């Protein structure tokens, strides 16, 4: 496991009520990379720039259209109103990327040797957890955009009814992280003598 993914401020978790005498220990805290917001930012900023450019082109290069608008409105279009309209366009186009960035910044994956805790939410915070032993399969996914940004997503297939498919998004060391989680899963299954048969939830 890459030490850069470890949170040095984490402290060992308290023992659980499990019948095993092994103490649950905090191992790492991960956050999605802010790079995952770049495509959203590019898309919406490009849209705002396109609308701004189109409006300026119509005002400067096509005065006949401006006159038609004036005739339709019954009065000249004030320059200040035009500025406010463009400001509104930019405000609307900046909301989605800012929201996406806030979602990434307020999401945390906390990993111990026995479970994975997932905390998310901007105003209303929610925490879920997934027992590592209930992970059935792990894979790493990197789209073309992910590869350009140097990030990827860990996809977990589990036997947990609340999280049949669980994703750890926008991680910089996705292959190494997947291997590490696979080893934690194997160690926890061995510790609990966990067996799973086809079509069952595991015993």
Query: In Å, what is the CA distance from 6 to each residue of 9, 135, 155?
Result: 9, 21, 20
What are the tens digits of pLDDT across the range 115-158? 999 999 999 999 999 999 999 999 999 999 999 999 999 999 99
Whether the per-residue pLDDT at 10 is higher than 90: the answer is no
Residue 51: count of CB within 10 angstroms of its CB: 16
What are the tens digits of pLDDT across the range 99-118? 999 999 999 999 999 999 99
Query: In Å, what is the CA distance from 128 to each residue of 121, 124, 154, 160?
Result: 11, 13, 17, 12
Residue (of 139, 108, 135) closest to 121 by Cα position:
108
Q: What percent of the chain has pLDDT over 90?
A: 65
How is 71-82 classified by DSSP, letter by letter? HHHTS---HHHH
Identify the band that residue 198 occupies on the pLDDT scale cut at 50, 70 and 90.
low
Give me the pLDDT at residue 176, please: 97
What are the tens digits of pLDDT across the range 11-31? 444 444 444 447 899 999 999
Residue (of 106, 100, 113, 157) closest to 127 by Cα position:
106
Give me the pLDDT at residue 66, please: 63
Residue (of 201, 198, 184) closest to 138 by Cα position:
184
Give me the pLDDT at residue 4, please: 47
What are the tens digits of pLDDT across the range 44-86? 999 999 999 998 887 787 777 666 666 665 555 556 777 888 9
Mean pLDDT of 172-195: 94
Residue identified by tokens 């399969």 is 137
Give me the pLDDT at residue 192, please: 92
What are the tens digits of pLDDT across the range 156-167? 999 999 889 999
Which domains does the chain possess?
25-31+110-192 (2.30.29.30), 38-102 (no CATH)
Residue identified by tokens 């770049």 is 38
Whether the per-residue pLDDT at 5 is higher than 90: the answer is no
Residue (of 92, 99, 134, 88) closest to 115 by Cα position:
134
CA atoms within 13 A of residue 134's CA, in its CB half-sphere: 15
Give me the pLDDT at residue 84, please: 87
Q: Tell me phi and psi for residue 187, to 5 degrees.
A: -65, -40
Confirm if 153 and 141 have CB atoms less than 8 A apart: yes
How is 27-68 classified by DSSP, letter by letter? EEEE---GGGGHHHHHHHHHHHHHHHHHHHHHHHH-HHHHHH
């Amino acid at each position: 496991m890459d030490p850069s993914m470890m949170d040095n401020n984490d402290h060992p978790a308290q023992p659980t009520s499990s019948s095993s005498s092994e103490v649950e220990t905090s191992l790492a805290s991960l956050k999605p990379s802010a790079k995952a917001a770049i495509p959203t930012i590019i898309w919406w900023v490009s849209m705002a720039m396109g609308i701004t450019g189109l409006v300026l082109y119509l005002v400067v290069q096509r005065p006949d259209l401006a006159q038609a608008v004036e005739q339709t409105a019954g009065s000249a279009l004030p320059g200040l109103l035009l500025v406010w309209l463009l400001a509104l366009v930019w405000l609307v186009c900046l909301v989605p990327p800012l929201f996406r960035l806030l979602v990434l910044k307020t999401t945390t994956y906390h990993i111990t040797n026995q479970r994975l805790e997932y905390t998310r939410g901007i105003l209303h915070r929610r925490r879920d957890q997934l027992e590592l032993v209930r992970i059935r399969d792990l894979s790493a996914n990197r789209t073309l955009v992910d590869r350009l940004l140097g990030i990827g997503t860990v996809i977990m297939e589990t036997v947990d009814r609340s999280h049949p498919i669980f994703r750890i998004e926008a991680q910089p060391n996705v292959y190494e992280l997947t291997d590490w989680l696979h080893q934690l899963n194997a160690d926890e299954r061995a510790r609990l003598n966990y067996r799973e048969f086809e079509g069952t939830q595991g015993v």
